[in-house]
Copies of this chain bind each other. A is one copy, B any other.
Amino acid sequence: MSVDVPSAETTNLPSDNLAENLDETSPAGLTAEQYRRKMERRKQVQQQRLAQRTQEKGLIIVHTGNGKGKTTAALGMVMRSLGHGFRVAIVQFIKGAWEPSEKAVLGHWPEQLEFHALGEGFTWETQDRDRDTAKAEQAWEVAWGYLQNPAYKTILLDEVNVALKHGFLSVDRVLAGLAQKPEHTHVILTGRGAPAALIEAADLVTEMTLVKHPFREQGVKAQPGIEF
């Protein structure tokens, strides 16, 4: 199975490389004193790393890959934003309704959080490309409204990558929108098959990679608290 993620090179600062070398070497054979010295050095490196990072900016964040955790990690970020008192908007591009458990949780912040489920279900449910395209464009219009409003600090475009991958929504249109977002707004775009141009434009990209899945390997069904 292939995932449309180019093998981007990460460009480390020298202090990042030092930190990685210290983290990767096993502490098992060290004496207590050697361990202490190693960690003292690691702390110096960490202080250097933090001193080199001063910029604040709204991030374009992509969660892609065929593993689990793309939407759940985005929901975790939404929770942190809510905990800080930020206003947040969520637009769901594929599903037409929120899972009851998610709705119950998200409903705790009526003043801070707007959430919309503007899809009609998975592609195999509708079986109608024109309708899927119209729905995706409507969802984008709603998202675009939030993207222009600096009052919203974090905007989650859930499963939008699937709409982009299937061509229901134009990548250029979404990239043009992201380029015009307010400077301090974070936007999270989730879903399999994120297009290369989106990954290129993003600041933070994580690929969730499937290592093992009970749904596949053990005949276990989707369960409450895990999948929904």
A residues neighboring B (CB under 8 Å): 1-2, 5, 8, 10-13, 16, 20, 24, 27-28, 32, 35-36, 39-40, 42-43, 46, 50, 52-57, 59, 61-63, 65, 67-69, 71-77, 79-84, 86, 99-105, 108, 122-130, 153-154, 166-167, 186, 199, 202-226, 228
CB-CB nearest in chain B for A55: B220
* B80 and A225 contacting across the interface, CB-CB below 8 Å: yes
* B28 and A225 contacting across the interface, CB-CB below 8 Å: no
Q: Can you list 17 A-B pairs, Cβ within 8 angstroms, ordered by A?
A: A10-B213, A11-B216, A27-B129, A55-B218, A59-B226, A62-B211, A72-B77, A73-B76, A75-B79, A76-B76, A76-B79, A203-B218, A204-B213, A205-B211, A206-B210, A206-B211, A208-B208
**Interface SS of A by simple majority:** mixed
A74: min CB distance to chain B, Å:
7
* B209 and A203 contacting across the interface, CB-CB below 8 Å: no
A3: min CB distance to chain B, Å:
10
A149: min CB distance to chain B, Å:
16
* B210 and A56 contacting across the interface, CB-CB below 8 Å: no
Say whether, besides A204-B214, A206-B68, A220 and B56 are in contact (CB < 8 Å): yes
CB-CB nearest in chain B for A39: B127
For A27, the chain B residues whose CB sits under 8 A away are 129, 166-167
CB-CB nearest in chain B for A31: B129
Complex Cα–Cα for A158 and B32 (A): 26
* A154 and B76 contacting across the interface, CB-CB below 8 Å: no
For A122, the chain B residues whose CB sits under 8 A away are 46
